[in-house]
């Protein structure tokens, strides 16, 4: 296979699960019909590369810094919005080195406006030493009040989650959020449920993030099942995103109007605590932009940024086609 292509990468656990789940197969298995193109490593879909004050960081929103601790994941999701970096091209080593982590800590320590640091990637759990170094150092930075981990690792390789490390990470600040990226209820296997229970015991505040995916989770019943199960497990659904369009992910992208229809129906069925915010990540916006529901009349052509300036629709083409 062309080495600049976004490689198929799965785990023994996922291959086993895929035998029983079509959703897992669609999420993880390379599809030559749609993906026979090289990953575009020059691309900057979400303006993340131009908003990187130092290596391994993204700073787009007030008060919060994203730290990309690895450019690798336990498995590659076919709809990954960072597939120009994850597992290809930019960083063969795949992990932020200790001295680079220390540079991030210095940067944060010198900027009192930063109150939250978010460990992301790739997957931060692929760089456990870097993650622990980052969090341990930041535990001593007074103005950083909240730490957050964004990961999909527990759903890709639940048997490899290092619970002793998780306990130490949860203790680094009084408030540490742990966000699970989950897209289908089939991912909530007995092994995953056990990990979630253990993570709760560590003291994390558990939240989830999801992506609307055509052919995977684009129906009300599937999402109702997933959000209800998460809520009952003590995982608060936080965000559900519109899938970012790139050449290789078009088959997953839903019509925004259809997403709004599904979210509006879910709002009528779910506990408020089980209902996530429906958002779009726009390249130039200063935050994730909330999508209104059917319960309002609204014009999707009029989208405003947080400072009241209008966002250019030229950089995103998600308007309902009808
Ligand atoms: C999503 C994201 C965050 C976190 O945003 P929240 O709305 O606080 O969850 C921070 N920085 C960047 C660059 C992001 O993409
Ligand atoms: S886990 Fe996240 S970063 Fe990794 S391939 Fe999947 S979507 Fe991309």
What pLDDT, in 10s, does the model give residues 6-54?
Answer: 888 999 999 999 999 999 999 999 988 888 777 777 778 788 888 999 9
Ligand number nearest to the C-alpha of 84: 2
pLDDT for residue 275 is more than 50: yes
**Neighbour tally for 87: CB within 10 Å:** 23
**Neighbour tally for 232: CB within 10 Å:** 11
Ligand 1 nearest atom to the CA of residue 239, by list position = 9
- What does the mean pLDDT of the chain come to? 90
Which range in 75-79, 297-301, 306-310 is most confidently predicted, on average pLDDT? 75-79
How is domain 12-317 classified at the CATH fold level? TIM Barrel (3.20.20)
Q: Locate the DSSP E strands across the chain.
A: 57-58, 64-68, 116-120, 146-151, 176-181, 205-211, 236-241, 277-280, 289-290
Length of the chain: 322
Ligand number nearest to the C-alpha of 280: 1
The residues lining ligand 2, judged by C-beta closer than 6 Å to any ligand atom, are 73, 76-77, 80, 82, 86, 121-123, 152, 181
Give the residue from 157, 258, 158 showing the smallest Cα distance to 217: 258
Give the C-alpha separation, 238 to 185, whole Å. Answer: 16
Provide the pLDDT confidence category of residue 317 given band limits of 50, 70 and 90: low
Domain ranges within the chain, ordered by starting residue: 12-317
Give the C-alpha separation, 184 to 197, whole Å. Answer: 19
Mutating to test ligand 2, I would choose from 95, 118, 122, 157 the residue with most ligand atoms within 8 A of its C-beta, which is: 122
Report whether 294 contacts 261 (CB < 8 A): yes
What pLDDT, in 10s, does the model give residues 53-64?
Answer: 999 999 999 999
Q: Calculate the CA 42 to chain-centre distance.
A: 21
The residues lining ligand 1, judged by C-beta closer than 6 Å to any ligand atom, are 58, 60-61, 64, 66, 118, 287-288
Question: Could you tell me the pTM of the whole model?
Answer: 0.94
Q: Locate the DSSP E strands across 83-216.
A: 116-120, 146-151, 176-181, 205-211
């Amino acid at each position: 296979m062309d080495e600049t292509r976004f490689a198929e990468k799965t785990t023994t656990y996922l291959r086993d699960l895929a035998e029983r789940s079509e959703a897992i197969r669609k999420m993880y298995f390379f599809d030559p019909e749609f993906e026979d193109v090289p990953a575009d490593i020059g691309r900057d879909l979400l303006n993340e590369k131009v908003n990187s004050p130092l290596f391994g960081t993204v700073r787009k929103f007030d008060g919060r810094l994203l730290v990309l601790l690895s450019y690798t994941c336990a498995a590659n999701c076919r709809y990954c919005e960072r597939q120009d970096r994850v597992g290809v091209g930019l960083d063969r080593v795949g992990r932020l080195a200790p001295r680079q982590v220390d540079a991030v800590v210095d940067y944060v320590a010198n900027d009192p406006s930063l109150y939250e640091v978010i460990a992301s990637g790739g997957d931060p759990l692929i760089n456990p030493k870097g993650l622990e170094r980052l969090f341990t150092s930041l535990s001593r930075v007074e103005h950083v009040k909240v730490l957050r981990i964004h990961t999909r690792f527990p759903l890709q390789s639940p048997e490899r989650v290092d619970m002793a490390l998780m306990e130490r990470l949860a203790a680094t600040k009084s408030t540490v959020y742990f966000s699970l990226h989950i897209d289908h209820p089939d991912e909530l296997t007995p092994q995953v449920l056990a990990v979630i229970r253990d993570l709760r015991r560590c003291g994390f505040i558990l939240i989830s993030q999801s992506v609307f995916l055509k052919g995977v989770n684009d129906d009300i019943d599937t999402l109702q099942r997933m959000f209800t199960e998460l809520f009952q497990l003590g995982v608060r659904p936080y965000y559900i995103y519109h899938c970012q369009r790139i050449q290789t992910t078009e088959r997953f992208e839903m019509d925004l109007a259809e997403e709004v229809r599904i979210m509006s129906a879910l709002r009528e069925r779910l506990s408020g605590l089980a209902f996530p915010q429906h958002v779009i990540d726009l390249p130039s916006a200063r935050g994730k932009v909330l999508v209104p529901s059917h319960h309002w009349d609204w014009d999707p052509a009029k989208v405003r940024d947080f400072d009241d300036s209008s966002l250019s629709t030229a950089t995103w083409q998600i308007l309902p086609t009808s």
